[in-house]
């Protein structure tokens, strides 16, 4: 997620944070950043709420935690229309798609609430005369969640809900680009009746975020963002021996075999490349197509891409909004220009998209061919609306190219031969393998990555393990 968030990604001046809207470059939100005193007080409340005197969240029955979490999600989703507007102004997603993120929040939350009893249940050992033995999953304490702007609710909820269900208290530090998301989540949990201190948020700069990670009361850090940001989180936590979950994005590939349904592959992969203006950690950034169907695939992909409507994110007719910042658009423009200078061919005439102009956050979608792995656009995370397409001779060449990356978050293969596709998927170095689809998180499956895509796991029953520690009970009967 090189263009998502580093450690705090703030825009601040003398303790003030400003959110610049990509729609018109205006200041959309202004917030005061937390100082040392406010942060210390927040951590103290979180610790007391976890296992202090009086009501303890860690000792609250799981049934109660489930009820409160579900109520909060219901409250949040009830504001989907207003939230869609806020998202369009904060990070540039077309307003027509805003409610979709809230639907995903509901799906993931309800799944995790539904499986938490099984995921958090004691592990019973086999019978041994005279003994009772079991392993309990114990909450860690105060969990710090650092969330990015590109899917600000989905990425945050992946950690918040299982952390709370497991009995932890949570402090959320959201991207400076999407501060209202943290506030919306806090309001939802507060209205649901969550005890004070169990869920809080802080608007912080880079320095104070690092200091909070180093705070001895923080027991776990769940970070979603760039490789650089992940490195900073690890440095801040160095020597503390706490868990650190890192979801750091990818350069996700797809392979279209000669027996694929080309129309379905085009539809899925064009959407996977350009939805959210390409600002998805699991978006499709490079495509390899068998030479026998290469021309057909490229022709159809170009035709579909030309149908996008680039414009202001608050316009309901728009299907492609601006990138989050002008600098992000300039980064992608630089990759494209460099590739063209190295021999790549561009298939989309930028003049078809009137708002796509240098010096703005608006950028036309682009398909490049005659690309190779000597070009940054095929190896360096773009995080924007550009995709390179290469012709390959066979499965082996496709797999070699798919694995030729520093990242490994997701990968997709399109084929009618399911068994062959699965066999090929076994050879792909990735956290999630898709067959005949892409760019989707199923809450029943572990969300994880390999290589520079990070470490740790969210979602699925396995995701709860990140937010608990095993505690063994060895009881000898008298």
Active site positions, annotated: 247, 281
Three-class HEC string of 251-290: CEEEEECCCCCHHHHHHHHHHHHHHHHHCCCCCEEEEEEE
Burial (CB count within 10 angstroms: exposed 0-12, middle 13-18, buried 19+), residue 183? middle
Asked if residues 248 and 225 have their Cβ atoms less than 8 Å apart, the reply is yes
Pairing of strands 169-174, 366-369: unpaired
The sheet with strand 123-124 has its strands ordered as 123-124, 131-139, 468-476
Residue 403 CB burial class (10 angstroms; 0-12, 13-18, ≥19) = middle
- Picking from 394, 393, 340, 392, the residue whose alpha carbon sits closest to that of residue 367 is 340
CA–CA distance, 5 with 2 (Å, rounded to integer)? 7
| Residue 15: closest CA among 183, 198, 293, 204 | 204
User: To which residue do tokens 């898709």 refer?
Assistant: 434
Cβ atoms 310, 329 nearer than 8 A: no
Distance CA(76)–CA(90), nearest Å, equals: 18
* Cα–Cα distance for residue pair 191/286, rounded to 1 Å: 44
């Amino acid at each position: 997620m090189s263009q998502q968030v580093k450690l705090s990604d703030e825009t601040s001046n003398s303790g003030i944070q400003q959110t610049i809207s990509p729609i018109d470059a205006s200041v959309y939100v202004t917030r005061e950043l937390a100082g040392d005193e406010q942060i210390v007080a927040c951590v103290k409340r979180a610790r007391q709420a976890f296992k202090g005197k009086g009501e303890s969240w860690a000792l609250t029955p799981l049934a109660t935690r489930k009820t409160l979490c579900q109520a909060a999600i219901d409250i949040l989703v009830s504001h989907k229309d207003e939230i869609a507007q806020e998202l369009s102004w904060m990070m540039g997603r077309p307003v027509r798609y805003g409610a979709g993120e809230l639907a995903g929040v509901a799906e993931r939350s309800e799944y995790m609430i539904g499986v938490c009893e099984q995921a958090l249940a004691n592990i019973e050992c086999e019978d041994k005369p005279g003994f009772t033995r079991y392993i309990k999953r114990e909450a860690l304490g105060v969990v710090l969640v650092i969330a990015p702007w590109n899917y600000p609710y989905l990425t945050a909820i992946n950690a918040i809900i299982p952390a709370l269900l497991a009995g932890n208290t949570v402090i959320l530090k959201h991207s400076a680009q999407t501060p209202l998301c943290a506030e919306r989540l806090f309001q939802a949990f507060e209205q649901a009746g969550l005890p004070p201190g169990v869920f809080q948020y802080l608007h912080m700069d880079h320095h104070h975020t690092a200091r909070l990670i180093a705070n001895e009361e923080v027991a776990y850090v769940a970070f979603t963002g760039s490789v650089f940001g992940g490195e900073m989180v690890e440095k801040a936590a160095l020597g503390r021996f706490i868990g650190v979950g890192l979801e750091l994005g990818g350069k996700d590939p797809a392979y279209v075999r000669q027996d694929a349904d080309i129309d379905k592959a085009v539809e899925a992969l064009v959407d996977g490349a350009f939805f959210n203006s390409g600002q998805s950690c699991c978006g499709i950034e490079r495509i390899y197509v068998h030479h026998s169907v290469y021309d057909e695939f490229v022709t159809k992909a170009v035709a579909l891409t030309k149908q996008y409507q680039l414009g202001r994110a608050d316009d309901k007719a728009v299907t492609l909004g601006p990138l989050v910042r002008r600098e992000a658009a300039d980064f992608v423009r630089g990759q494209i220009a460099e590739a063209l200078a190295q021999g790549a061919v561009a298939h989309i005439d930028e003049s078809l998209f009137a708002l796509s102009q240098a010096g703005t956050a608006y950028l036309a979608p682009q398909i490049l061919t005659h690309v190779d792995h000597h070009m940054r656009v095929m190896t360096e995370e773009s995080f924007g609306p550009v995709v390179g397409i290469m012709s390959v001779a066979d499965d082996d060449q496709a797999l070699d190219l798919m694995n030729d990356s520093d990242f490994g978050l997701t990968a997709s293969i399109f084929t009618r031969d399911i068994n062959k596709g699965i066999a090929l998927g076994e050879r792909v170095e990735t956290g999630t393998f898709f067959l005949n689809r892409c760019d989707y998180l199923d809450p029943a499956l572990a969300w994880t990555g390999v290589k520079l895509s990070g470490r740790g796991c969210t979602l699925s029953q396995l995701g709860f393990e990140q937010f608990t520690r095993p505690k063994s009970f060895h009881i000898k009967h008298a």
